[in-house]
Amino acid sequence: MNRIFPRNLTAQAGIEIAGNPVTTRLESGVGNCFPGLEFDHRNLDRRFFPGLVFEFVSASREIELHQGARLVKVDEDDPDLLPVTFETRPGDAPDPKTQQNLTDALHGSQAVALRQGVWFLESITQDGKTIVFRQNAQGTPPLDAMTCWRLVRSLQPGLLTVHLKQRPETPGGTVANPDEIVLQGWRRIYTDSVSGALSAAYAPGELTQSLCSPWMHDFRDCACFYWASNHPDIVLGMDLPGEPVLADAESNDPVRANTPIDWLRADRARARTAPAQPSDDQNRPAQMDHYQINEHWQELSIVLTGKEISNVFEPRPMESKAPLANPDLLAAELLELGTLEHVLALEYLYARYSILNPKLAKTKELQDDLTFVYHELLMIAVSEMRHLRWVNQLLWEMDHLKLTTKRVGPSLGVAPRVPAQNGKMRKRRLRTLTEDVLNDFIAVEQPSGTLDGKYAVVVSTLRDKNKYPEELAQLALRIIADGTQHFSRFRQIRIVLKPYFDKKSTAYLVDLSPASPAKAKKAMDMYQGIVQNLSNAYAKGDAEDFHLITSARQLMTALDVEADRLAGDRLGVPFFT
């Protein structure tokens, strides 16, 4: 379905509000997906087929037959069954013959049968493709509730056929005839395309009927994650007035900036606030109880960008740069940025394999440190790969929209130079993770500088909504937001490795040397295969080419194994020279 946009001006901010992430916009908010804050989105899809109401239900193992999309009501008064409903919006109207046939079916013998016994969706067919909700193989259980809902969510507006099947009320029971009914209809259009109003099929309160009650005991122990966006588990502590912060508002103190604390802690004095423990059971003794929350909920801190605040929020200043004059110049800028993302991913990967394999650690403390650094470096490298994909997505989206005069990309080159401190550039290098190398990595990910700053011109250009779709600017902003997380992750790595740096110890390190062409052939063949698959897939960005992405991921997994093997011989993959 098309995204839902508010039509009343009080609900629609014409500008981006300072400090608000894109997820606070109605069209991309948390409430657009279960679990939701504004409404439970499943309640839209329970009426996806006019005249029928379903519930997405789960069941225990003993009665797993009763799970999936269960029919709970035949609504013969559904307004979408009446032609008059679409008189003012003919573009939303279903096929008249299909509408009449469905209306007749839901007022006849089939409706009588559907009101008796237990009926579930067996399958849905649309555009020649059939989604099966319960496999026919012996012993295969029905699909679970959330899977069924996700499949229904995937339907597009238009004609479809639903196949309903009656199931016995108890295991081993029998069902009456008819036990199968097929209906032809259409996927309901949930909102009026002219006014934006919700379909009249939904009763007042229906969209929120399955949500929790706010500010009650469930806020303390709710297990359905309804509070996921405004009831954080762990947060970062606030900075007091006068304490220095960085450009992204992160604390200048790397320990405080990276030490999570329990948001529900009862003793909120900073001097007595300990780091959060790894499990709920360990944290619970220090948390507010139910009645404390009811009495002191106003003392719980507001959290923005993962950090508690008690004063006026000051959003991170965005670096301002003059927008580029035309899409061709923007495409050229993105082409260069893709090569930077690529070279950083390779530098980070090489550094990761220079970390001693945690299995070889001689002490538990060293093993824990190695495991953390090994994992974090991989996460940062994977994130850079994701940025490379997003840069190429921006390029192919511009090409699909015919914004550029010629096709540009894909961008899969490897930049020869990398941004460094003070606006300088350094030569790309494959290096082991020494303190100096880690400082270089922190510098390139510094907020409002280096790589982050290079995206400022992209964002300022894409903010022109007369030239570019809004989602392109949001994609570029996601890259910048991810970059600040890289900065924070690298600072965490520095905290963990600082004792080794101070002692000039290399106990955590493997002194890698680039492998010779002969010894690196297997790894480099895999790497070149990855690049080739991505190049072919990113050239157009077509869904039909997704098998190439799958092949690239399989090669990445194999390359990881081979790179680990080479590291065991103190050899690194020579991604570039």
288 contacts: CB under 8 Å, gap ≥ 6: 220, 264, 265, 266, 296
Nearest to 537 by CA among 529, 547, 527: 547
Count of residues making up the chain: 577
What is the per-residue pLDDT for 309?
84
- Whether residue 420 contacts residue 546, with contact meaning beta carbons closer than 8 Å, is answered with no
Q: What is the pLDDT along the chain (577 residues), one digit of tens a residue?
A: 455 555 544 445 556 666 655 555 555 544 444 444 567 788 899 999 999 999 998 865 445 677 889 999 999 999 999 999 999 889 899 999 999 999 999 999 999 999 999 999 999 999 999 999 875 555 567 888 889 999 999 999 999 999 999 988 877 788 888 889 999 999 999 988 887 788 999 988 788 777 665 444 556 666 555 454 557 788 888 888 778 877 666 788 888 888 899 988 999 888 889 899 888 888 889 998 877 877 787 788 888 878 888 777 666 665 667 889 999 999 999 999 999 999 999 999 999 999 999 999 999 999 999 999 999 999 999 999 999 999 999 999 999 999 999 999 899 999 999 988 777 889 999 999 999 999 999 988 887 656 667 788 899 999 998 999 989 998 998 888 787 788 889 999 999 999 999 999 999 999 999 999 999 999 999 999 999 999 999 988 876 677 898 999 999 999 999 999 999 999 999 999 8
Q: Which amino acid is at 340?
A: L
292 contacts: CB under 8 Å, gap ≥ 6: 266
240 contacts: CB under 8 Å, gap ≥ 6: 270
CB atoms within 10 A of CB 547: 10
Question: Does the N-terminal peptide bond of residue 178 adopt cis geometry, omega within 30 degrees of 0?
Answer: yes
The helix/strand/coil state of 250 is: coil
Query: 196: which 2 tokens?
Result: 């934006």
Sole residue written with tokens 């056929």: 161
What is the per-residue pLDDT for 215?
46
Handedness of CA 284, 286, 289, 295 (dihedral sign): negative
DSSP label at residue 355? B
Residue 254, CA distances (Å) to 159, 443, 490, 549 in order: 57, 14, 10, 37
- Whether residue 450 contacts residue 372, with contact meaning beta carbons closer than 8 Å, is answered with no
What is the per-residue pLDDT for 31?
47
Pairwise CA distance, residues 455 & 319, whole Å: 9
What pTM does this model have?
A: 0.61
Pairing of strands 118-126, 158-167: antiparallel
| 37 φ, ψ (degrees, to nearest 5) | -100, -45
With the CA atoms of 305, 308, 310 and 311 taken in that order, what torsion angle do they form, in degrees rounded to the nearest 10?
A: -20
Pairing of strands 513-514, 571-572: parallel
- Whether residue 221 contacts residue 287, with contact meaning beta carbons closer than 8 Å, is answered with no
Pairwise CA distance, residues 404 & 192, whole Å: 34
Query: 399: which 2 tokens?
Result: 């090409």
What is the per-residue pLDDT for 204?
81
Query: 322: which 2 tokens?
Result: 């003059």
Residue 524 C-alpha from the chain's centroid: 31
E strands, 437-517, where?
Answer: 513-514
Query: 24: which 2 tokens?
Result: 């606070």
What is the per-residue pLDDT for 195?
78
